[in-house]
Amino acid sequence: MALAALLTAGHQGGEALVPVVIGVVIDQAVANGSVSTLLLWLAVLGVLFAALSTSYRLGARFGERAAERAAHDLRLDLGRRVLHPGGVAGSGTLAGELVSIATSDAKRVGTVNGVLPFGVAGLAGLLVSAVALLTMSLPLGLLVLLGTPPMLYLAHLIGKPLERRSEAEQERSAFASGVATDLVAGLRVLKGVGAERAAVDRYRRTSQDSLRATLRAARAQAWHNGALLALTGIFIAVVALVGGNLAAAGDISVGDLVAAVGLAQYLITPFSIFSWVNGELAQGRASAARIAGVLDAPPAVGAGEATLPTPAAG
């Protein structure tokens, strides 16, 4: 995961440098009419694109590997706990619920390992952008540096409702899976006593409850993404407005203005990454709590204190 974070950070850092290099091209090559300087900086831009593309490809591969390994380890831990001879006391979970926890919840928690490197990459992109803007203009750099922490804190607060509704969604989905598993296992008995209608009605109610929980979680996800997109748009508009005023006042060059506007547009990317990572973390925390409930459950049958006779009779 550390290697994935390093590579994806290199990718986002390279993305942030692209508008900076374009601004340098405008100031040093286009403005002066130097063909050789223009070709030199175009070559630099090509190398930059090759490096950031390679970093993303390798970083995404390592991140996906970390996510799959984490999910696999969780499934193994859950399997060992459920199959322990002592059993699971006080869980009250149906067999289908345990299957859902070992599949869907384990995958969501494992996904956290895959998205965290991209969160680090987003921070790296913001840092490179802030340093570049500080080099061009102190007010622009300070605006990004001082405005980012409140944005991240607001993103955390906005993700709270999504976390709660994701937990309810997973609980209802797992319960529906458990009811379906029980119905299939006891199908012959149900037919024998003529209870098919009652069983169908029970599953229909459970399925409808699961559907309503899923729709509530989907609405929370849409509200979360929309709110973060609105906050991001406001912040980027402020950065572009300040940069335009500085260029109009002659405090920064034309190339600096192009770079500042390009960086303002680029800032959509790290903030979109934060929105995505925050949503995945909210869902991962809810699933992690459900997994911990199974792993931390005490055994239903404690270990005995007597010893087997030697040699064993019979």
- Asked if residue 120 lies in contact with residue 5, where contact means CB atoms within 8 angstroms, the answer is yes
Q: Which pLDDT score, from 0 to 100, does residue 295 have?
A: 82
CATH code for residues 2-159+220-295: 1.20.1560.10
The predicted model scores a pTM of: 0.67
Q: How far apart are CA 19 and CA 132, in angstroms?
A: 10
How far is the C-alpha of 254 from the C-alpha of 137, rounded, in Å? 13
Q: Using only C-alpha atoms, what is the Rg of the chain?
A: 28
Look at residues 253, 256, 255 and name the one whose alpha carbon lies nearest to residue 29: 255
Q: What is the pLDDT of residue 226?
A: 82
CA angle 297, 300, 302 (to 5 degrees): 110
- Would you state the pLDDT for residue 160? 74
**Contact status, residue 266 vs residue 125, Cβ threshold 8 Å:** yes
- For 184, other C-beta atoms within 10 Å of its C-beta total 10
pLDDT tens-digit profile, the chain (314 residues): 889 999 999 999 989 899 888 888 887 776 666 778 878 888 988 899 999 899 999 999 999 999 999 999 999 988 888 777 666 655 556 666 777 788 888 888 899 999 999 999 999 998 888 888 888 888 877 887 777 778 777 877 777 777 677 767 767 777 777 777 767 667 676 667 777 777 777 778 888 887 888 788 788 778 877 887 787 788 778 877 887 788 778 777 778 878 877 887 787 788 778 878 887 888 788 888 888 888 887 776 666 676 766 776 65
User: In the prediction, which pLDDT does 306 show?
Assistant: 67
Rounded to whole angstroms, the Cα distance separating 115 from 33 reads: 45
Name, in order, each residue with C-beta under 8 angstroms of 54's C-beta and a sequence gap of 6 or more: none
